[in-house]
Amino acid sequence: MKDIADHLWVIISAMLVFLMQPGFMALETGLTRAKNSINVAIKNMSDFIVSVAAFWFIGFGIMFGKTLYGITGVTDFFVNFDVDNWKAAFFVFQAVFAGTAATIDSGAVAERAKFSTYLIMSFITSAFIYPVFGHWAWGGLFYPENQGWLQKLGFLDFAGSSVVHSIGAWVALSGVIIIGPRIGRFTEDGRVNKIRGHNLVFAYLGVCILFFAWFGFNAGSTLAASPKVANILANTIISASFGGLTTLFVSWLFSDNHLPEPEMIINGILGGLVGITAGCYYVGEAGALIIGIVSGFIVFSGTHLLEKLRLDDAVGAIPVHGFTGVWGTIATGIFIRESFLVEMGTTRSHQILVQALGSFTALAWALGMSFILMKIINRFSPMRVSRAYEEIGLNIAEHGASSSILELSSSVRKIIESRNIKTAQKIDVEYGTEIGELTGYFNTMIDDLKAKEEAAEEALESLHCMAVTDGLTQISNRKNITDTLEKEISRSIRYGKKLSILLFDVDFFKQVNDTYGHIAGDKVLVDISGAVGDVLRESDYMGRYGGEEFLIIFPETELAGAYIISNRIRETVEKMMWDFCDGFRVTISGGVVENCGEDLTRMIKRADSLLYHAKGSGRNRIEK
């Protein structure tokens, strides 16, 4: 028999636990993109009402009905309270727990899960997957003689680290595997793209609500108005705080930007709350502190593990509820007070083994069963929305909830994410409204910025061309050709490839300028550049080294091959004629060398030495 205080305590606690629904809604909505925020909110409310219905129909009976060999309950379906007020209070408390388990899946598969199939999975979770394991671990909570097989072994999970949180997380993991990652989350080259939520302040409001609701979650699990509630609440707040502190400092030290990550702090707090949920009644404050710290590390490392496995958990639900749920359940055996071990007549090592068995049973049951069921559902009705729906957002695609403010937010977000004004789309103006006026200004701004960006790109392209191109011959200038040679030298040494160069200049070029003028000299240089370019292969590079000197790079070419091409160049120039003087011709002399592991300066110095040797040997020749 329960007195009035117990009834009130359980009902008040149930009200607190119900706050987890708006808490999860705010958290998940804030951590997802605006184009999916309405969908996330609707899912959080819908999965709760579906789970309550499923739990009343069948889930409560499976979980707390008279047991069949400790495997499943077989009574109390379509729960009838009659005049049993305690049964009504107990049902309300357990129904909000079932709603919590069903909601965990929502955040993990957010932004790409189809609403209809998501509701089917929420029903199955609340009616079958969650209640079956709940019977194994908590079957005797309503009928004391009704213990499930894990409960008979001495398995302890006071408020549901495994029963509620890890069950929900393993269902979520099945969904993440089957549905796949969001578009753009992972690239083909293995890069991980972080998809930012649209409102972190809203997410922090959600975690504050969840923190408060957790007091009812853990303390209400006494199912009695007991002084022990104080210790439970103390352990809860200690573990949560140290979980958040751990992820704050760990992300500060080890994240890519070496700054405390807002999402990590949130999930560290939640990880600490999940971790202590199993043992909040059984451990002391030192145990709560360690559980919280380790939970923070698990959340941080678990999040990065999922990314390496290319599993896209939109809000981090699996590390928070699954990984720390396992840790918190096993940690209950590690840190349980000695007085409880004496009372239960067991040893610490035995209790740890029982806790581990329960944790991994939850994993095998929930992950295995949900994966099979989701595969079946997915075969007949795909669980993922189409690519087009995902791109426009589930607010519009699944619920027709469109507005100019969402379109404006989406367009601005695309500009910010891509850092490219070209991705901006004009928005239909809602005339006569404040947002209509704002979207009109936005469209005008987009037109103006696109025009300015196009002009800036043209200017930058022109500047770049001027920076790397010789103004006269329009081939690479000295800096560009030597930079290219430096890269080719590094590549040839790194990969063991051959590399040769030719350095040549025009024989008696000063006489050309002195006799025919600088315009004629410039004409000679331009024509030679064009003629030599026609001889070269696509893989070769040519640049003006200075004055009448030219440098040619032959990648992956040995000396003999480079020498043949160089002589072909020499012969081509020798045959050229200019009309400013009848029969006027010029010749070139050059030196060709193959790289033998030296740097740019030494390689050019060798080629230059051969060039002067060619001049001293009569000109119109290539030395090697």
Note the pLDDT of residue 514: 85
CATH of residue 518: 3.30.70.270
Q: Which residues contact 157 (CB under 8 A, 6 or more apart)?
A: 137, 138, 163, 277, 278, 329, 332, 358
- Whether the per-residue pLDDT at 169 is higher than 80: the answer is yes
Please indicate, yes or no, whether residues 81 and 228 belong to a single structural domain of this protein.
yes
Sign of CA dihedral 265, 270, 275, 281: positive
Region 351-372: mean pLDDT is 98
Please indicate, yes or no, whether residues 320 and 456 belong to a single structural domain of this protein.
no
Residue 272 resides in a domain: yes
Query: Tens digit of pLDDT for each residue in 554-601?
Result: 999 999 999 999 999 999 999 998 877 767 889 999 999 999 989 999
Residue 395 resides in a domain: no
HSE of 270, CA atoms in CB hemisphere, 13 A: 32
Please indicate, yes or no, whether residues 209 and 315 belong to a single structural domain of this protein.
yes
190: pLDDT confidence band, cut at 50, 70 and 90? confident
Note the pLDDT of residue 440: 67
Please indicate, yes or no, whether residues 327 and 413 belong to a single structural domain of this protein.
no
* DSSP letter (8 states) at residue 283: B
Of residues 525 and 461, which shows the higher confidence score? 525
Single residue among 433, 467, 501 that ends a domain in this structure: 467
Single residue among 422, 443, 467 that ends a domain in this structure: 467
* DSSP letter (8 states) at residue 78: S
Q: How far is CA 472 from CA 184, 185, 226, 563, in A?
A: 46, 48, 92, 27
- Whether the per-residue pLDDT at 431 is higher than 60: the answer is no
Please indicate, yes or no, whether residues 408 and 385 belong to a single structural domain of this protein.
no
What is the total residue count of the chain?
Answer: 624
Please indicate, yes or no, whether residues 176 and 135 belong to a single structural domain of this protein.
yes
463: pLDDT confidence band, cut at 50, 70 and 90? confident
Note the pLDDT of residue 584: 82
Note the pLDDT of residue 322: 97
Residue 179 resides in a domain: yes
340 vs 284: CA distance, rounded Å:
11
- Whether the per-residue pLDDT at 416 is higher than 70: the answer is no
Note the pLDDT of residue 404: 57
Q: Provide the Cα torsion 421, 424, 426, 428; round to 10°.
A: -140
Does residue 145 contact residue 81 with C-beta atoms inside 8 Å?
Answer: no
420: pLDDT confidence band, cut at 50, 70 and 90? low
Can you tell me whether residue 369 is helix, strand or coil? helix
Residue 124 parent element (H or E): helix 115-124
82: pLDDT confidence band, cut at 50, 70 and 90? confident
591 backbone dihedrals φ, ψ, rounded to 5°: -125, 130
Residue 397 resides in a domain: no
Bridge partners (DSSP) of residue 546 are 549
Q: Please count the structural domains in the chain.
A: 3
Mean pLDDT of the chain: 91
- Written as six digits, the tokens of 264 are 């990590």
Please indicate, yes or no, whether residues 449 and 576 belong to a single structural domain of this protein.
no
Please indicate, yes or no, whether residues 35 and 75 belong to a single structural domain of this protein.
yes
Please indicate, yes or no, whether residues 297 and 165 belong to a single structural domain of this protein.
yes
110 vs 98: CA distance, rounded Å:
20
Region 492-506: mean pLDDT is 93
110 vs 176: CA distance, rounded Å:
9
- Whether the per-residue pLDDT at 478 is higher than 80: the answer is yes
Of residues 141 and 439, which shows the higher confidence score? 141
User: Does the global pTM surpass 0.75?
Assistant: no
- Chain-centroid distance of CA 128 in Å reads 32
- Whether the per-residue pLDDT at 410 is higher than 70: the answer is no
- Whether the per-residue pLDDT at 28 is higher than 60: the answer is yes
Note the pLDDT of residue 401: 76
- Domain of 314, in residue numbers: 4-389
Residue 246 resides in a domain: yes
Residue 398 resides in a domain: no
Residue 473 resides in a domain: no
Region 483-498: mean pLDDT is 92
Single residue among 467, 492, 520 that ends a domain in this structure: 467
512: pLDDT confidence band, cut at 50, 70 and 90? confident
Please indicate, yes or no, whether residues 518 and 463 belong to a single structural domain of this protein.
no
Q: Provide the Cα torsion 288, 293, 294, 299; round to 10°.
A: 120
Neighbours of 217 (CB within 10 A): 27
4: pLDDT confidence band, cut at 50, 70 and 90? very high
549: pLDDT confidence band, cut at 50, 70 and 90? very high
Residue 396 resides in a domain: no
Of residues 11 and 410, which shows the higher confidence score? 11
Comparing CA positions, the residue from 109, 250, 127, 240 lying closest to residue 177 is 109
CATH of residue 130: 1.10.3430.10
Contacts 24+ apart (CB under 8 A), 560-565: 561/500, 562/500, 562/501, 562/502, 562/592, 562/594, 563/592, 563/622, 563/624, 565/502, 565/535, 565/536, 565/537, 565/540
Region 65-81: mean pLDDT is 95
Please indicate, yes or no, whether residues 92 and 118 belong to a single structural domain of this protein.
yes
428: pLDDT confidence band, cut at 50, 70 and 90? low
Note the pLDDT of residue 458: 75
Please indicate, yes or no, whether residues 427 and 312 belong to a single structural domain of this protein.
no
Q: Which residues contact 145 (CB under 8 A, 6 or more apart)?
A: none
Q: Which residues contact 290 (CB under 8 A, 6 or more apart)?
A: 331, 335
Print burial letters for 406-437: b (CB count within 10 Å at least 16), e (below 16): bbbbbbebebeeeeebeebeebebbeeeebee
Query: Tens digit of pLDDT for each residue in 531-546?
Result: 999 999 999 999 999 8
Q: What is the 3-state secondary structure (H, E, C) of 320-347?
A: HHHHHHHHHHHHHHHHECHHHHHHHCCC
Residue type, 490: S
Region 41-49: mean pLDDT is 95
Does residue 396 contact residue 410 with C-beta atoms inside 8 Å?
Answer: no
Sign of CA dihedral 471, 473, 475, 480: negative
